[in-house]
Homo-oligomer: A and B are copies of this chain.
């Protein structure tokens, strides 16, 4: 059983993923880019190679766990957390632990092994977003969980172990530290200013223009003022909304368009960079929804300074955010063709 442990010195929870336990020899220092087409478990026709299907968008008349799907959600075959169990905390001297209970799912974004989320037509990306929402809302109903973390690792250097386009979801029995901190800062700002800090920041940035990348009907894309990483990019809903799970059907396509266009601009400037994106959302059991504002943070993996920076909580960014925004604002991209002929 995996285990959750809390470090009382930094107040961070960590998953000790015992069922993935590695020996020193398991760490290759030169990880090649995965080239796994021959045996890719996410390709169409290999549905039996994954755990059973949890959710899918598929052609009428096709059966679960068979070909005919567009987007398919399965459990992670090597989950960091297990779905069975209880979430009692126990003390080990000054430490705290609990069983590693949670969900770890994979959202396979397309049957096409050789594409990238941003290269899918907007309507297809919207189906990926709808799959995120279906799983998010379903897991929000499990009272053992406190947070659903949706994220995407692109390329080996950003942590992807399979190259077939996919996102991941982890439902957690604790709130990640970063989420708690953001909510706390947002609540404090609301207490002082009577406004959402993200709405206030959006108004300021739209006015200042220099860090804006683009906007569409319902979303704003920008380089954050204090970007920690080169070409860090955030996508925020223009209207205040605390919980990603509350995204309305009428906004799904607009979000998909913003996400796709952002990824294409990063591709255009940085040539298929490794990256991570994470959907930052209100811990859904939080009482009030006025202060926090969900958003996506996209972090290209361009520099090699991670250990120092995560160890110190202190970042050095060699790219001026206004310059990064200008490159991304001026990038030219083509919306994938299938979308155009619809």
Contact = CB atoms under 8 A, between A and B. Distances in A.
A141 to B, nearest CB: 22
Contacts of A316: 14-15, 17, 80
Contact of A189 (B8, B27, B151, B156): B8
Contact of A311 (B8, B11, B23, B299): B299
Contacts of A303: 27, 159
Interface string A182-224: 1001100100000001101100100010000000000000001
A92 interface: yes
For A5, A16, A31, A176, the residue with the greatest tally of chain B CB atoms inside 10 Å of its CB is: A16
Interface in A1-16: 5-16
Q: How many copies does the complex hold?
A: 2
A308 B27 contact: no
A338 interface: no
A133 interface: no
Contact of A27 (B11, B21, B92, B270): B270
A269 interface: yes
A297 to B, nearest CB: 6
A320 interface: yes
Interface string A254-282: 00000000000000011101111010000
Given A312-B151, A318-B22, A226 B276 contact: no
A312 B176 CA distance: 6
A231 interface: yes
B197 A9 contact: yes
B5 A226 contact: yes
A313 interface: yes
Contacts of A276: 307-308, 311
A17 B317 contact: yes
A107 to B, nearest CB: 15
Contact of A15 (B23, B201, B274, B315): B315
Given A7-B228, A21-B318, A159-B305, 13 more contacts: A12-B228, A14-B316, A15-B314, A15-B316, A24-B270, A27-B270, A27-B273, A27-B303, A153-B307, A176-B312, A178-B314, A228-B310, A275-B307
22 contacts: A7-B224, A7-B225, A10-B181, A11-B185, A12-B313, A14-B315, A15-B314, A17-B317, A20-B318, A23-B327, A24-B231, A24-B269, A29-B274, A92-B225, A93-B208, A94-B201, A94-B204, A158-B308, A159-B307, A178-B311, A297-B311, A309-B310
